[in-house]
């Protein structure tokens, strides 16, 4: 690999690239990749280009293996329609991450994590997840031909098992506290040489940078004023923040956005700490929300999100399950089928506009993190209008609604 290192996100302590454990020995906070490349967007046609190629100057990979890719990234930035008018905003965009190969943003970090595993000679990968990340790592692990271990909570809903199991990983249901499983997986991974690409693993965070890169390109090398991101462990938002910083440092954009971390009201440890002025998050004892994908009771990058949001003038807010379901319906009205957690960002935008914190003339990007098909349990919260009739009555039925 090219010359690079890790650094602690909190105390700045430096670690060599050969480091396996992704957290700081001194303060316990997550590490991040430190690498300075040429800072250029590489020429090429995105119909035949991978994200790790186009933005290769921002990653320490010598030559990305394009066979590891399933065509992740390069997702649409969709200008809001009816919602735009309802909110009275000039520019609101949806970064539609449901368009990724396994229908969520996770694929970006998964491909970066697997590229790192391959470059460092690691042939067993794993993850701790109960949803999008499990599906993503299972799919990409199968693609790469690596032994793939997926650890899920024993309480996983039956509908979530098949989309992971179909790819043939070693799938283990673990009776546990989910927060502890994250740390235990890192310990075992270090001992056994398993590269766990967990929620805020350094190279997973690196992959998420490409969301920021693409948004800048899609806005013709401009930075938006606000970027709103559903936030659980904190890895994705950290990556998006790092991406905007790196494009700014490279002189590709002249401004930086402010960020909104969105949590579920029934499990909002980062939001609570932010509002209380605390420096560290505290675990939520009993998460109570339908938004399981953003219900991490003890986000491993929570403290770093607090630090970064405060340093950049952003905010953290919590939205209710009802708000998310309503936003899911509104997004569907725009043609985008998100899971409720993916619609949390739109729910947050509505709140911030109502409170006057986002102003009409500002450019807002709402990141829609994952697709709705994998989460059938949310459908019961909607009321769908379905008409029925016999064939002879069809024309009469249609005429009644025309």
Helices marked H in 103-192 — which ranges? 106-119, 132-144, 162-165, 178-192
| Rounded Cα–Cα distance for residues 390 and 257 (Å) | 55
* Token couple for 255: 């401004």
* Token couple for 55: 């933005």
Which range touches Zn ion (CB under 5 A), out of 26-34, 75-83, 280-288, 344-352?
Answer: 26-34
What is the enclosing helix (H) or strand (E) of 51? helix 51-54
Shortest Cβ distance from residue 235 to Zn ion (Å)?
17
Nearer to Zn ion, 27 or 377 (CB): 27
Shortest Cβ distance from residue 228 to Zn ion (Å)?
29
Shortest Cβ distance from residue 94 to Zn ion (Å)?
36
Cβ-based neighbour number of residue 193 at 10 Å: 12
Shortest Cβ distance from residue 307 to Zn ion (Å)?
12
Which range touches Zn ion (CB under 5 A), out of 24-32, 45-53, 239-247, 385-393?
Answer: 24-32
| Residue 26 found at the interface with Zn ion (CB under 5 A) | yes
Shortest Cβ distance from residue 109 to Zn ion (Å)?
22
Tell me which residues in 179-208 interact with Zn ion (CB under 5 A): none
Nearest of 63, 49, 189 to residue 119 by alpha carbon: 63
Cβ-based neighbour number of residue 67 at 10 Å: 10
Nearer to Zn ion, 79 or 280 (CB): 280
Shortest Cβ distance from residue 258 to Zn ion (Å)?
26
Among all chains, which residue has been given the structure tokens 């709705």? 372
Nearer to Zn ion, 10 or 176 (CB): 10
Nearer to Zn ion, 33 or 262 (CB): 33
Q: Out of 8, 87, 212, 273, point to the residue binding Zn ion (CB under 5 A).
A: 8
Which range touches Zn ion (CB under 5 A), out of 10-18, 72-80, 178-186, 360-368?
Answer: 10-18
Shortest Cβ distance from residue 212 to Zn ion (Å)?
24
Beta bridge partners of 126: 149, 196
Angle at 7 between CA 33 and CA 18, to 5 degrees: 70
List the x/- string, 42-81, binding to Zn ion by CB under 5 A: ----------------------------------------
Nearest of 9, 328, 296 to residue 128 by alpha carbon: 296
Nearer to Zn ion, 19 or 66 (CB): 19
| Residue 24 found at the interface with Zn ion (CB under 5 A) | yes
Residue 143 and residue 169 in contact, taking contact as beta carbons nearer than 8 Å = no
Shortest Cβ distance from residue 224 to Zn ion (Å)?
31
Which range touches Zn ion (CB under 5 A), out of 16-24, 324-332, 346-354, 366-374?
Answer: 16-24
Nearest of 209, 168, 186 to residue 128 by alpha carbon: 186
Residue 299 and residue 269 in contact, taking contact as beta carbons nearer than 8 Å = yes
Which range touches Zn ion (CB under 5 A), out of 11-19, 86-94, 275-283, 338-346?
Answer: 11-19
Query: Which phi and psi angles does 317 have, rounded to 5°?
Result: -135, 160
Which range touches Zn ion (CB under 5 A), out of 6-14, 133-141, 208-216, 348-356?
Answer: 6-14
Q: For the residues of 322-358, what is the DSSP string, one character each?
A: HHHHHHHHHHHHTT--B-TTTTHHHHHHHHHHHTTSS
For the chain, give the number of residues.
402
Cβ-based neighbour number of residue 383 at 10 Å: 6
Tell me which residues in 123-182 interact with Zn ion (CB under 5 A): none
**With contacts defined by CB under 5 A, how many residues of the chain interact with Zn ion?**
7
Nearer to Zn ion, 7 or 124 (CB): 7
Nearer to Zn ion, 7 or 84 (CB): 7
| Residue 31 found at the interface with Zn ion (CB under 5 A) | no
Chain centre to alpha carbon of residue 376:
20
Q: Out of 27, 154, 162, 278, point to the residue binding Zn ion (CB under 5 A).
A: 27
Which range touches Zn ion (CB under 5 A), out of 22-30, 46-54, 123-131, 368-376?
Answer: 22-30
Shortest Cβ distance from residue 32 to Zn ion (Å)?
11
DSSP conformational letter for 115: H
Residue 261 and residue 239 in contact, taking contact as beta carbons nearer than 8 Å = no
Shortest Cβ distance from residue 26 to Zn ion (Å)?
5
310-to-229, 304, 313 alpha-carbon distances in Å: 15, 10, 5
For Zn ion, the binding residues (CB under 5 A) are: 8, 10-11, 13, 24, 26-27
């Amino acid at each position: 690999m090219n010359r690079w290192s890790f650094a602690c996100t909190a105390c700045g302590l430096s670690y060599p690239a050969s480091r396996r454990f992704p957290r700081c020995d001194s303060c316990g906070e997550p590490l991040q990749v430190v690498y300075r490349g040429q800072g250029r967007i590489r020429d090429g046609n995105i119909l035949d280009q991978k994200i790790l190629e186009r933005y290769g100057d921002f990653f320490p990979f010598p030559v990305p293996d394009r066979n590891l890719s399933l065509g992740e990234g390069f997702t649409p930035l969709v200008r809001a329609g009816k919602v735009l008018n309802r909110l009275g905003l000039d520019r609101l965009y949806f970064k539609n991450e449901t368009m990724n190969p396994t229908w969520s943003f996770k694929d970006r970090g998964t491909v970066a994590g697997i590229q790192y595993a391959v470059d460092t000679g690691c042939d067993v990968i794993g993850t701790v997840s109960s949803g999008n990340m499990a599906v993503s790592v299972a799919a990409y692990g199968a693609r790469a031909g690596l032994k793939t271990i997926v650890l899920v909570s024993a309480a996983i809903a039956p509908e979530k098992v098949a989309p992971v199991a179909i790819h043939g990983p070693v799938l283990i249901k673990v009776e546990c506290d989910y927060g502890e499983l994250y740390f235990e997986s890192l310990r075992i991974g270090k001992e056994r040489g398993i590269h766990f690409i967990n929620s805020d693993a350094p190279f997973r965070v690196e992959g998420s940078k490409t969301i920021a890169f693409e948004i800048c390109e899609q806005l013709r090398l401009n930075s938006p004023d606000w970027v709103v991101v559903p936030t659980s462990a904190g890895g994705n938002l950290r990556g998006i923040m790092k991406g905007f910083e790196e494009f700014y440092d490279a002189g590709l954009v002249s401004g930086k956005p402010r960020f909104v971390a969105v949590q579920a009201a029934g499990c909002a440890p980062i939001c609570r700490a932010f509002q209380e002025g605390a420096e560290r998050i505290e675990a939520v004892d009993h998460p109570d929300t339908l938004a399981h994908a953003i219900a991490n009771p003890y986000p491993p990058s929570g403290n770093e999100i607090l630090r970064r949001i405060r340093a950049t003038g952003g905010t953290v807010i919590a939205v209710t399950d009802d708000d998310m379901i309503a936003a899911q319906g509104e997004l569907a009205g725009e043609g985008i089928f998100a899971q409720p957690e993916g619609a949390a960002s739109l729910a947050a935008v509505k709140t911030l506009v109502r409170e006057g914190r986002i102003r009409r003339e500002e450019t807002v990007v709402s990141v829609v993190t994952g697709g709705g098909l994998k989460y059938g349990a949310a459908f019961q919260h909607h009321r769908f209008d379905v008409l029925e009739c016999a064939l002879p009555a069809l024309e009469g039925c249609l005429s009644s609604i025309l």
